Structure 1
């Protein structure tokens, strides 16, 4: 840590010890994390899943989404446990390290301790549960395939709130789930997981903590459960650098690549290509291509009725 701090003047590291003087919690982020958070910190995704060290400490990662729709790390922490007080400590430390700037939207898994910490420390942020974890619970709690499919629709579909409520009542009634405790619990917290309740909120298209899961997987390739602390931290640093190298490649492609402009709404595509990164442009272009499927041809030719061919153009005009 001292070597890292000597090379990076904006490096931030904070820790606390237990009653025996042993390391309890440790949080760190470098200057690049600070820059990325200042640019892309509207959305914060946090997760704690893997214990990849000899001390059995949970590893917490804070990540976001950049202008290429790619994952950017904001910081990491090793915790003594996964209690609400510990999550409050690490979340408050994270916010302090970012100059007090708070995100406008937060995504976590269904851990109540983590949720309570977010709600207390960032009360103004829009809070969302991970859709992927909700989907896994649906499969585990609901055993009928058709009902599972209906619940997936309730999680991800762009229904209005009124339509969602009607569809929920229909699914619950048809499946006879009125008295199911899990279903009742999910309905009571529906505003934290159903897409219908997030239409007015900015989440940059993110609906799960899968980006954290992906980062954990990347870390596991270089970490072992018998590693000591002085071995873990350099490996995490290398993992973050690999992620950042991908961002550099995305930047290079955006500057130097010339995407193929389609015929449909070509002028709009040319303008979008100049204003957005390559990855975002491709996303918008897909939507333009999808929209083009609903465009009717200028002319419709009816089959030959014997005496003449009747040709109609759009808006009912005759040719």
Structure 2
């Protein structure tokens, strides 16, 4: 062992290069061979480490000697990823380099050699799998559309023309996403707050507020300039609904929704809550009002959640609180007998009464009482409770409010939640959630621009030849495209 160590010492101190080239190869030509100076350096390191069992400190001191750069012509200096036409040319080049720089190739260790790679094999090497900036950017952009690493890799392969042209493996895509999550997860909330504060500072008329609970993010609200413009025009009726499973922290996603001039649902604000408490909802609604200059909606539509009910009554005393008709009617089957539920006459009359868009309040009350008496429902608590709340969910009591007929249920908010869920998923970091939210909003507004364009290009059919009809049509269009 001592003799081996002495040989290594002599070879290094005399600037010996231990070349990992199989000198016994024949002169057969191959497409290309890649040799790097790193291979030579690794060989020296391996040889030094192999002798550490006898003289570790002695050899480690040798490795730490100052770097020596031979003074040789540039064309003879080994370059990383050099390509040679044949193995013999590679051997000749390194021998010439050793001779010109006063090195001596004294010994070759075939055990440490490795097979050389042809040009067809190079895409499968570890170095070829190194992800470029654009590759990483593609994975990040794919996640905005709720595409995981596996799907992103499939799409990349299709775009490139086949898997053989995608050198990076799907495992590398997964490792990148996992690595990003590991880096971000410990400061996810703070990064999110910094991002939103930056938007508030640089975007025109952007609102963002948040509340801490110790060192935890308790609740946050945001609304941009476009959402505020929608609210200013269509604030008569606002739907308020929550959804779950949008992020890894189980924070509740809250959407404020209204109906625009195309009868499409649009977002006028959004928030996240860590806990569904009355205090959290009160803070969120106050933040909503603050963003919209204190202008409360005429009607706010929610489900029968008691915490939301208390918050709405506390913060919006002058707004009429309407309950979702669909949620109420869904409970009908649980509060009647099976025989009555199968009674077609009862179901037809009851549904016609409740969903009637043109009935007056006094007429509704008379017909309700008639149905209750006819089907012996006087002692049913649910029917009595719903009648006490009739002015909070029957349309007859909201017919004086513009757009109330378009928003009788929270289905628009629930539809919007479903729309956002197509871009978001459970397990998202807050930063990823916001990226998905931005993508959803972009699609929503692009749809609106398309509808504006179709409206502008539409050909109107006039009933009469009078000029006033054409003038009114133009005025109406100006209002529609606000």
TM-score range, shorter chain: 0.7 to 0.9
1:182 alignment partner in structure 2 = 382
Alignment equivalent of 2:424, drawn from 217, 223, 227: 223
Matching of residues 1-319 of structure 1 within 5 Å: 1-5=196-200, 7-19=202-214, 21-142=215-336, 143-146=341-344, 147-157=346-356, 158-205=358-405, 206-261=407-462, 273-277=473-477
Equivalent position SS for 1:276: helix
CA distance in 1, matches of 2:478, 2:325: 27
> In 2 relative to 1, CA 39–22 (structure 1 residues): closer, same or farther, beyond 3 Å?
same
User: How far, CA to CA, are the matches of 2:228 and 2:433 in structure 1?
Assistant: 21
CA distance in 1, matches of 2:333, 2:286: 35
Give the whole-Å Cα distance in 2 for the aligned partners of 1:51 and 1:145: 39
CA distance 1:110–1:270, shift in 2 (3 Å): farther
SS in 1 for 2:331: helix
Which whole-Å deviations, capped at 9, do the CAs of 1:70-124 have from their partners, x for residues lacking one? 2121111110222221111100111011111111111111112212211221111
Asked whether the 8 Å contact 2:252–2:273 carries over to 1, the reply is yes
* Range 165-174 or range 115-124, more displaced: 115-124
> For residues 13-36 of structure 1, what are the alpha-carbon distances to aligned partners after superposition, in whole Å with 9 as ceiling and x for unaligned?
1111113x1111111111111121
User: 1:109, 1:133 within 8 Å by CA — same for their partners in 2?
Assistant: yes
Rg larger for: 2
Name the residue aligned to 1:309: none
| CA–CA distance in structure 2, aligned partners of residues 210 and 278 of structure 1 | 29
The answer as to whether partners of 2:253 and 2:270 remain within 8 angstroms in 1 is yes
- How far the C-alpha of 1:6 sits from its partner, in A, is 5.0
Match of 1:302 in 2: none
Is the contact between residue 322 and residue 392 of structure 2 (CA under 8 Å) also seen in structure 1?
yes
What CA distance in whole angstroms lies between the structure 2 residues aligned with 1:40 and 1:243?
16
Checking the alignment, whether the CA contact within 8 Å between 1:54 and 1:226 is kept in structure 2 is: yes
Distance 2:283 2:218 in 1: 11
Q: Pick closer, same or farther for the CA change 1:144–1:116 going to 2, 3 Å.
A: farther
- How many residue pairs get aligned? The number is 277
Q: Is the CA contact (8 Å cut-off) linking 1:126 and 1:201 kept in structure 2?
A: no
Aligned 8 A contact 2:239 2:410 in 1: yes
1:314 matched residue in structure 2:
none
CA distance in 2 between counterparts of 1:90 and 1:138 reads 32
* Alpha-carbon separation, structure 2, partners of 1:37 and 1:151: 35
TM-score (norm: length of structure 2) = 0.54
SS at match of 1:230: helix
Higher share of residues assigned strand: 1
Shift of 1:272: 5.8
Check conservation: 2:255, 2:269, Cα contact below 8 A.
yes
The answer to which of 151-160 and 230-239 deviates more is: 151-160
Contact 2:236/2:401 (CA < 8 Å) preserved in 1?
no
- For residues 164-192 of structure 1, the C-alpha deviation after alignment (integer angstroms, 9 at most, x for no partner) is 11111111112211111111110110100
Q: Secondary structure at the match of 2:432?
A: helix
The worse-fitting range, judged by mean Cα deviation, of 218-227 and 129-138 is 129-138
Residue deviations 1:20-73, cap 9 Å, x none?
A: x11111111111111211222222111113331111111100011122222121
Change (3 A) 1:187 1:269: farther
